[in-house]
Structure 1
């Protein structure tokens, strides 16, 4: 080999080494700037030239964190915003299981594949409403018939069969903390799930007084019914909100939790066990019964709720909302509507629908 060729090879090797060093520096700078500027969907000018896998997925290593969420057609924007907030605020290896219905799956696939969420690990599973046959009212005008997806949380092990633990989230949430922290919450021995109690320190900051009896068992169950009396539960026991669940799926299966929940669902169709003052939460009563004094606690900051209730959400200070690790707009008023509290926080994580079929409703519109 001539000296000229040797020099040429050396130059090529030096150029390759230089490009590798530059690329690594760009990736490090990208990671630093993302920490400093966590705005959802932010893509730095040079990032578009890098492989998507190198750009964001290089840090998605370690134990998988399964998160189950449901996706109804009229609330798809909520699912997308929740997923985006989780993904952007954590470097954990999150894998989403999204339960939806046949008429929604294609819309959701397109939304995820054509936006900044295309690299998020997920699987879409079709929920079959016939699974609920005989367990809820057949009246098409009831909430049970209209919203079958609300019962998906009862079947967690069926949809995430290989996992030992999993997180269930309602779609009307925004996660501001690192989801790994919630996932690593300790459950007491023998407990199949952890919830955030409605009488916890976060809710006690003067925000649920307008919610009536919705913070204890009597707000959900009819204690005049014999089947409820026999359980020996105290009516003033603090209830919990199942919009955020950390589940030990091994215990869930060993204790036949799903079958226990189905039993109380079926019994309610025969004896009407739910409280007459109940507001919307048809899935909560069976969970309250099955997990009575048999559940662990979630840090209250990991389930700051009632943002969708009139008056309640407005009692939060902006500083408290900013410090919350998970915000939940449970109640009638959703952050993609006109009159919700702190909808600007939700807007930060919303990813527009490429089909234009879903759009937040705002006062000015």
Structure 2
């Protein structure tokens, strides 16, 4: 009798053990989201795409430019875009109201305040073109301090219009060890006639003062083709690893002490440090993704067919499309978003 009872106990134990094993296997095949009593993520692959971070500065007096650029990007892209709108403290409220009270209210954005105190002692006073000394011109130097959550970032000047899908620019391949991709100023034969007609420089000679020993010691040929830092794609990991911001600040400081470049030269004070720091260490942007020089002359024009093919138009130079005189204003004005406060107004010959 005792033996029979012992057998029954063993069989009962085996039965209970088997049931436990079955239950354990079922439970551990369930999604972890359900085990944590969290909702299952049923988003489509499109909804799960990473954001494309685009950095644009919105300066007082030029805010309409920034929002025309934003409008063109948002309208021509099917991707998830996160706009980082950078401004000074006194413009933050205006930026927010412009977005929230216009057709841009549906964009995904973050407003970032830039503290100009980081530039103290690093900018040499220059009366030739004081607009080039505005603090927001140097935001591009400090991207890792402003943008923390992204491996890859697009930076755009405010005087651009994007006619293509920004995803294409974001997909620009950066070579190993390169912190950024720029447009080479000699990359597009179609722009060479424009360069010659208005007397622009597209070599380092036009940006750096080769009479200074510090510049000659760099060992960079003055005939080296320059690049334009008004549109670029940056790798934040490489930027921080190479301490790009510190390098740029070093050359700003040297210029403040030795006047190595100035706004009387082609690119002013923001381009030259980047030409030095990134010399021979940048990847190329597809040429049609940066058609520039539209602001260098109120008379010299590109062909309509060429402009239609362009993915991005850049009015770099003095003649801006929200001002007068300027060229190809129709391509810019179609993306203009009126200022709800009425503060920013277009300047036109009959206004």
Identify whether the pair has TM-score above 0.5, normalized to the shorter chain: yes
- Runs of 4+ in structure 1 deviating by more than 6 angstroms, as ranges, are 139-142
Q: 2:85 pairs with 84, 94, 98, which one?
A: 98
Equivalent-residue separation in structure 1 for 2:287 and 2:345 (angstroms):
31
Deviation at 1:137, TM superposition (A): 2.2
Corresponding residue for residue 313 of structure 2? 327
Specify the SS of the correspondent of 2:337. coil
Please list the CA deviations of residues 248-297 of structure 1 after superposition, one character each: whole Å capped at 9, or x if unmatched: 11100000000000000000011111167414521011000001111110
Does the residue aligned with 2:343 lie in a helix, a strand or coil? Answer: coil
Match of 2:76 among 71, 89, 93: 89
Q: 1:159 to 1:347 in 2, by over 3 A?
A: same
Give the Å deviation of 1:96: 0.8
Which residue among 221, 236, 254 is the counterpart of 2:208?
221
Choose which of 53, 65, 71 in structure 1 pairs with 2:58: 71
Query: What pairs up with 1:1-365 in 2 under 5 angstroms?
Result: 61-137=48-124, 143=130, 146-202=133-189, 204-212=191-199, 214-274=201-261, 277-279=264-266, 281-310=268-297, 313-314=300-301, 316-365=302-351
1:146, CA displacement in angstroms? 4.5
**5+ unaligned residues in a row in structure 1: which ranges?**
1-57
Separation in 2, partners of 1:144, 1:111: 23
Offset at residue 341 of structure 1 (A): 0.9
Counterpart Cα distance in 2 of 1:188 and 1:279:
28
Normalised to the residue count of structure 2, the TM-score between the two structures is 0.83
Q: Name 1:31's counterpart in structure 2.
A: none
> Hey, what's the Cα distance between the residues in 1 that align with 2:251 and 2:311?
33
1:40-63 CA-partner distances (Å, limit 9, x unpaired): xxxxxxxxxxxxxxxxxx966511
CA distance in 2, matches of 1:148, 1:112: 22
**Greater Cα radius of gyration, structure 1 or 2:** 2
Q: Whole-Å Cα distance in 1 between the matches of residues 187 and 310 of structure 2?
A: 14
> Aligned partners of 1:243, 1:276: CA distance in 2, in Å?
16
- Preserved CA contact (<8 Å) 1:60 1:91: no
SS in 2 for 1:194: strand
Alpha-carbon contact 1:220-1:277 (below 8 Å) kept: no
Query: What is the TM-score with the length of structure 1 in the denominator?
Result: 0.80
Measured in 2, the distance between the counterparts of 1:333 and 1:276 equals 16
Deviation, structure 1 residue 143? 2.7
SS in 1 for 2:149: coil
Q: Describe the SS at the equivalent of 1:286.
A: helix
